[in-house]
Amino acid sequence: MTVAHRWTMGVALVCLAVTPTAFAGAQAGQPRSANDVLPGLLAEVHGLRLAMEQSAAVTPRLQLTLARLTIEEQRVTHLTAAGASFWLIVARRR
């Protein structure tokens, strides 16, 4: 798995995690009159705060997942190289 592919997967996971909160904030609607401006703004700030908290909770898990993928990729690369070496040795003995 290439670095670009891992990066794309990470961005996709973050987008999936943040999207529901963004849609919930967008559905709050626009204020109807001048008196409703402050509650509308407070609702928007609250939605943004929730989105930031959710993003902050997802980021460490995402980083751990990407680190685990990197370790697995290194293991596969090492085992593939070891397997190739083995078959070269076997082929030379024939």
Please give the model's pTM, rounded to 2 decimal places: 0.45
Please report which confidence band the pLDDT of residue 5 belongs to, taking 50, 70 and 90 as the band edges: low
Q: What's the DSSP call for residue 36?
A: G
- Cα 7 to the chain's mean position, in Å? 8
- Separation of alpha carbons 8 and 82, rounded Å: 29
Query: Tens of pLDDT along 21-72?
Result: 555 555 555 546 667 799 999 999 999 999 999 999 999 999 999 999 999 9
- Cα 50 to the chain's mean position, in Å? 17
Domain boundaries, the chain: 3-93
